[in-house]
Structure 1
Amino acid sequence: MASPRHKGGDLEDGLEMSPGHGLHFPLPERVPSLGWRGINFTAGGRKILKDCSGIIHPGEFTAVMGPSGSGKTTLMNILSGRQNPSGGGLKVDGTVTLDGRITAPSKFRDSVAYVMQEDALVSTSTPREVLEFAATLKLDKSRHEVKTIVNDMLEYLRLSTCQNTMVGNQLTRGISGGERKRTSIGMELITQPSMLFLDEPLTGLDSYAAVTTSRVLKGLAEHGVTVLMTVHQPSSEVFELFDRVMLINEGEIVYHGPRTSLEDYFVSHADLRCPPHYNLGDFALYKLQTQPPEVISRLVDAYKAGMVDADAKCVTGDGMKNGVVKATMNTPYRAGLHKQFHMLAAREFRAVVRDPDVFIVRYIVVMCTNLLSASIFHDSGRPGSELFWLTNMRLFQPYFSAVVIMCLTQLFGPAQTAIIRYPEQRMVFLREYTSGMYSAIPYVISKSMIELPLALFECFLQIVVFYWIVGLQGNFMFWLLLLWLLHLVSSSLAQLMGATTSTVNRAMQLMPLLFMPQIVFSGLFINLERIPVWLRWGQYVSYLKYGVNLGYFIEFGFDKPTLAGINSIYANLVGLDMGILLAMLIIFRIFTIVVLRRKARFVH
């Protein structure tokens, strides 16, 4: 591909592509114009956007500016197909066009690259791994081609020096904020996007990182990509890079046109002139918030009348073409489920290997809590006939209590870590899922596969401690398998509940709802027949009850029917108990997949 030409001079700080430099990462061949007419958005009875119209053209770097809460991000979400158009008190009106033909944003959502305000990246991955992950799943290329594309992308985005450094997070030091942002942009550029939308990409960056990132975006626009980004307070140097500016105030577009015409527009329609050597962007935002309503209304009316940008006529006047366009952009490549699973599982495994402290602490806690619990019931286990136990209930109670504690441990421990798993990684999942990298099925299965050996080892530690300190008599392998199954069922239900929430705090608030019904309906503290009939159904969804039942027979055998009956445990239900636990494991995981898909249908 020919070397790029820079309209505004060389890109500084190493961003200039030298003559003859072949760009291996894909760039769009044809980009349509995106227009919108009469966009209104209502949420909970409040009108967020009011009769917004405009157009953006290929190869333009457009900044959407306005006060906080003015509707900048909402408009961009609607145009990119990431805003739920209805339901829950939401309502979107208006039309969106590609090259003048009416279409639905959801039709071309996969062809619009979207960089969220939060850099949703896996903290244990490096910039190279992040880009290789995206390229492998979103490009139909060989491994060698992927490596070439990623190498070129790293060089273009000035990430070569940090390519093998982990991204990091608040607790683990990693790459800088500007490098994180450019890595996020690189993930989206991998797919040859026709349009690149960015939500507040400069937030939290220092002045140098903000300018560097903006120059990267400017260079992309000059390569033919339509770049649209929201920005709150750009510096003068950043503002000078914009081709066009869109000003929004209280849901209405005040101005949308060339950056160089903004000052003349304010002078002509509001008699507002920017002082010399003053940041024009700051001036415009300040005036939007300090001028009387009648002045702002004049500016809004002037824009609607088409006095600023004649290009707006194609979406507000006779330029609208009839008909509905089905698709004018290339359909993005989607990797097969096997490749999705392979890449996700490899990433999960790397996360375990690179952050071992989490699991070391986890296993230390498991050992400490089980040593304490087992010590309380030290030497409670012993062989005995049914008659022996019936005549020595004071000895049976601590022995049976040890069995119950072992099962209870698999209720609390796994659930506490699992319920926050999806809320913690929600933004990463939403970004990658909505970008079309993978589906929810391999995402959940890959996490489950990595979880299996970790859970097995945790259960092994528990059974080793209890087996020798308490003096258990049951089959060691049967105990290990039962605790493993209980661990996975408890984790599955916790993950399902966590998937329904959007934050860790909300997930933690669901913990009592997870634990209490399991304990109350297990039959351990009250005979199930004494529970009101209209609540008695709860026993059938208590996996703790099934686990204790199976644990009893592993430890005491099947030759003590009277002793079992006293504890509401019946030998003829062993197969059913096992089948129900396996069914719960599968059903909870399936429901988790369904919930994740539904929650990710629209980001907002």
Structure 2
Amino acid sequence: MSRVAAAASTFPSPTTLRELIMSSGAELAGNEFAGGDDVEAQPPVRRVSFVLTFTNLTYTVEARARWKDVIRRQKNRSGSTVILDDISGEARDGEILAVMGASGSGKSTLIDALAAAAAGSSIRLNGERLESRLKKAISAYVMQDDLLFPMLTVEETLRFAAELRLPRSLAAGKKKLRVEALIDQLGLRKAARTLIGDEGHRGVSGGERRRVSIGADIIHDPILLFLDEPTSGLDSTSAFMVVKVLQRIAMTGSIIVMSIHQPSHRIIKLLDRMIFLSRGKVVYGGTPANLPAFFADFGRPIPDGENWADFALDLIKELEDYPEGTKTLIQLNKSWQPLKGDFEVQPQLSLTEAIAATIIRGKLFSDAAAIAGAVAAASMVPKFANPFWIELSVLSKRSFTNFRRNPKLLTFRLAAITATGIILATVFHKLDKSPKGIRERLGFFAFAMSATFYTCADALPIFLQERYIFMRETAYNAYRRSSYVLAISFVFLPLLIILAAVFAVVTFWSLGLGGSFFFYFLIILASYWAGNSFVTFLSGVVPEVILGYIIVVTLLGCSLLFSGFFINGDRIPKFWIGLHYISLIKYPYEAVLKNEFQDSGECFVRGVQIFDGTPLAAAPEALKIEVLGRMGISGLNITAVTCVSDGEEILRRQAVSGLSKWGCLWVTVGWGFFFRILFYVWLAAGKRR
């Protein structure tokens, strides 16, 4: 806090943070306790601390060129599409601004634009532009979909959100109190210990789920709250309860801006301001109370008993079917703006003073000193609420809790690995040291190493399911991307160790393998690590599970083909040799071969065994010995017990050379880190995209 204060002093500012907070607190106290006849004689005026204004907001999308036009070298005639056209309005603290319109009218785009509020845009808070870091610290955006971990309870979901969004400087007891207060504010006390649930697990109701989504994003008690259709998919009662909760949040001093589709009459009574859109243009902007007079002035009064919002949307849709469209309605709305007096109230405090006063009232659970003192130097606002190691701890604990409560992921995978190991152990039981035993060992090693990679494909849906949760949380700097990448790595590591240990124990002694059991376990673990990292990276790239599985099967099939099992590396054509060296299966395959055959001191082909696999294999033993004796005439002294092929000879025939077995192990481990780094780079690039 001292470093922040010191840095803030280098920027021009009318008052210090201490003076702002003291003066704001004194002013608030004076207004609250001031008495006298003069004060009582004046009509009560609600104090407005924050006003969000947007003026002439326009958003245009450039149409992409069609492939036919590209082939014909023609320009794309479709040009650009205007999504939002010259939209203006305002929202105040303590009020709810609802954006309405038919599908495709631009209401979700308007919410997105206001939530982005990029510096330099026409969006202002108390007349001042919002720098990106400050905006993320004092605002929240609730997406239309409920993006939650299904195996966490309501209380755990909010508690993990508090540990990520609230600063380390805030005591654990205060964080707990904030969670408890939010549960009561959202009306979730009875469901606090209920799982969120999903299609396969029963959990909270749809309305409760939506309120939990809102709570996870407002845990830091933001000043600005944007919501994209928070009542979508809910019944009338649940939708009313959600908006009622939003009204209570607004009364704490927040600005609520949301899009909503066909609200009920009860919900309309809870709204303070409304904007109706038609094809990106404002056809009405004002209070719900003025809506009947507006349409009466237009010549289409709202019938008695008719839902005002339904009437307005139906009329707008009807006008859109005419050539002139809603031009007349748009012009009437512009003529109404100076008359209805909705924009007369102005904030009585600057943005700096308003934030300081807000913190005095106990709102905005964040680094108060840094935020309130950084409006003049917005770059000083901390980008993240907590240090890296706290994020890593919380994310790891959350992922592990969600993973632990879904035992199917562990049980089914462990059962699959155990069953695979048992089948291999019985099929290749007690391999002998003969030419047939050599071929069987090579086949087992190739299958086993490829199986470790293929069985990692079940991790593909995990990040795909968490993708939008990750995007929502990192969009407002809840945590670092590096923290997330390391957290999911740590969560999977114990599972990989268990799987590798089970497979190694089941197969090593049953097959009669040689070499070091510890190294055999390590190379299987390294293969699981590389495979899991590879699949994790793909899950961040591909848009859906089916496509991901296709890519995994294709790439791992190529890796197995060029691993050196089907064709030796020295016989692969030069124009394909690059795929041999980047094969994921090559290095673990060669590692287990070297562990089995290198420096083993074992003989795998003796005397007459050299005829195995030849037409003489079925000949009598005496004939084979006679042939060996005749071979001795030419200088080859081979008897029935002479060692013809040892482990080193097998490695030479398989063209396995170069790296040691430990070198192959480290390359396999390196593949895992390589794909984790690629995963992080892709996530970081996704932020810029």
Partner of 1:286: 314
Partner of 1:537: 578
Q: Displacement of 1:460 after TM fit? A: 1.5
State the SS of the aligned residue for 1:33.
strand
State the SS of the aligned residue for 1:65.
strand
Partner of 1:129: 156
Q: Say if 2:447 is the partner of 1:402.
A: no
Q: Say if 2:555 is the partner of 1:514.
A: yes
Amino acid at match of 1:366: I
Amino acid at match of 2:390: K
Partner of 1:564: 651
> Is the deviation greater in 559-568 or in 68-77?
559-568
Partner of 2:642: none
How far apart, in 2, do the equivalents of 1:305 and 1:326 lie? 40
- Once the two structures are superposed, the pairs formed by residues 495-514 of structure 1 within 5 Å of their partners are 495-514=536-555
Partner of 1:466: 507
- Once the two structures are superposed, the pairs formed by residues 546-585 of structure 1 within 5 Å of their partners are 546-558=587-599, 560-570=647-657, 572-585=659-672
Partner of 2:91: 56
Q: Displacement of 1:576 after TM fit? A: 3.6
Q: Say if 2:411 is the partner of 1:360.
A: yes
Cα distance 1:306–1:283, how it changes in 2: closer, same or farther (>3 A)? closer
Q: Displacement of 1:541 after TM fit? A: 1.9
Cα distance 1:526–1:289, how it changes in 2: closer, same or farther (>3 A)? farther
Percent of residue pairs bearing the same amino acid type: 28
State whether residues 36 and 94 of structure 1, in contact with CA within 8 Å, keep that contact through their aligned partners in structure 2.
Answer: no
Cα distance 1:536–1:454, how it changes in 2: closer, same or farther (>3 A)? same
Partner of 2:210: 181
State whether residues 108 and 327 of structure 1, in contact with CA within 8 Å, keep that contact through their aligned partners in structure 2.
Answer: no
Cα distance 1:348–1:534, how it changes in 2: closer, same or farther (>3 A)? same
Partner of 2:146: 119
Cα distance 1:601–1:110, how it changes in 2: closer, same or farther (>3 A)? farther
Amino acid at match of 1:135: A
State whether residues 597 and 650 of structure 2, in contact with CA within 8 Å, keep that contact through their aligned partners in structure 1.
Answer: no
Partner of 1:298: 328
State the SS of the aligned residue for 1:367.
helix
Tell me the alpha carbon deviations over residues 57-83 of structure 1, each in whole angstroms, 9 at most, x when there is no partner: 222201111111221111111211189
State whether residues 117 and 130 of structure 2, in contact with CA within 8 Å, keep that contact through their aligned partners in structure 1.
Answer: no
Q: Displacement of 1:124 after TM fit? A: 1.3
Partner of 1:31: 50
Cα distance 1:472–1:283, how it changes in 2: closer, same or farther (>3 A)? same
Q: Displacement of 1:341 after TM fit? A: 1.1
Partner of 1:190: 219
Partner of 1:412: 454
Q: Say if 2:468 is the partner of 1:427.
A: yes
Partner of 2:366: none
Q: Displacement of 1:121 after TM fit? A: 0.9
How far apart, in 2, do the equivalents of 1:502 and 1:34 lie? 37
Q: Displacement of 1:508 after TM fit? A: 3.1
Cα distance 1:173–1:185, how it changes in 2: closer, same or farther (>3 A)? same
State the SS of the aligned residue for 2:152.
coil
Tell me the alpha carbon deviations over residues 471-519 of structure 1, each in whole angstroms, 9 at most, x when there is no partner: 2223221111100001000110111111123433443343234323322
How far apart, in 1, do the equivalents of 2:562 and 2:186 lie? 57
State whether residues 110 and 434 of structure 1, in contact with CA within 8 Å, keep that contact through their aligned partners in structure 2.
Answer: no
Selected match of 1:261 from 290, 294, 299: 290
Selected match of 1:225 from 251, 254, 257: 254
State whether residues 81 and 109 of structure 1, in contact with CA within 8 Å, keep that contact through their aligned partners in structure 2.
Answer: no
How far apart, in 2, do the equivalents of 1:537 and 1:361 lie? 36
Partner of 1:370: 421
State whether residues 254 and 296 of structure 1, in contact with CA within 8 Å, keep that contact through their aligned partners in structure 2.
Answer: yes
Q: Displacement of 1:282 after TM fit? A: 0.8
State the SS of the aligned residue for 2:61.
strand
Structure label with greater radius of gyration? 2
How far apart, in 2, do the equivalents of 1:172 and 1:361 lie? 17
State whether residues 107 and 326 of structure 1, in contact with CA within 8 Å, keep that contact through their aligned partners in structure 2.
Answer: no
How far apart, in 1, do the equivalents of 2:667 and 2:215 lie? 46
State the SS of the aligned residue for 1:479.
helix
> Is the deviation greater in 504-513 or in 541-550?
504-513
Cα distance 1:231–1:547, how it changes in 2: closer, same or farther (>3 A)? same
State whether residues 463 and 479 of structure 1, in contact with CA within 8 Å, keep that contact through their aligned partners in structure 2.
Answer: yes
Cα distance 1:506–1:273, how it changes in 2: closer, same or farther (>3 A)? farther
State whether residues 143 and 227 of structure 2, in contact with CA within 8 Å, keep that contact through their aligned partners in structure 1.
Answer: yes
5+ unaligned residues in a row in structure 2: which ranges?
1-24, 26-46, 64-79, 347-374, 601-646
State whether residues 80 and 105 of structure 1, in contact with CA within 8 Å, keep that contact through their aligned partners in structure 2.
Answer: no
Q: Displacement of 1:575 after TM fit? A: 4.4
5+ unaligned residues in a row in structure 1: which ranges?
2-27, 86-92, 316-323
Q: Displacement of 1:29 after TM fit? A: 11
Tell me the alpha carbon deviations over residues 138-160 of structure 1, each in whole angstroms, 9 at most, x when there is no partner: 22311111111111111121111
Aligned alpha-carbon RMSD (Å): 2.9
How far apart, in 1, do the equivalents of 2:385 and 2:404 lie? 28
Q: Say if 2:280 is the partner of 1:239.
A: no
> Is the deviation greater in 229-238 or in 463-472?
463-472
State whether residues 55 and 311 of structure 1, in contact with CA within 8 Å, keep that contact through their aligned partners in structure 2.
Answer: no
Q: Say if 2:122 is the partner of 1:95.
A: yes
State the SS of the aligned residue for 1:37.
strand
Amino acid at match of 1:127: V
State the SS of the aligned residue for 1:419.
helix
How far apart, in 1, do the equivalents of 2:259 and 2:166 lie? 28
Tell me the alpha carbon deviations over residues 459-479 of structure 1, each in whole angstroms, 9 at most, x when there is no partner: 112112212332222322111
How far apart, in 2, do the equivalents of 1:268 and 1:530 lie? 87
- Once the two structures are superposed, the pairs formed by residues 344-355 of structure 1 within 5 Å of their partners are 344-355=395-406
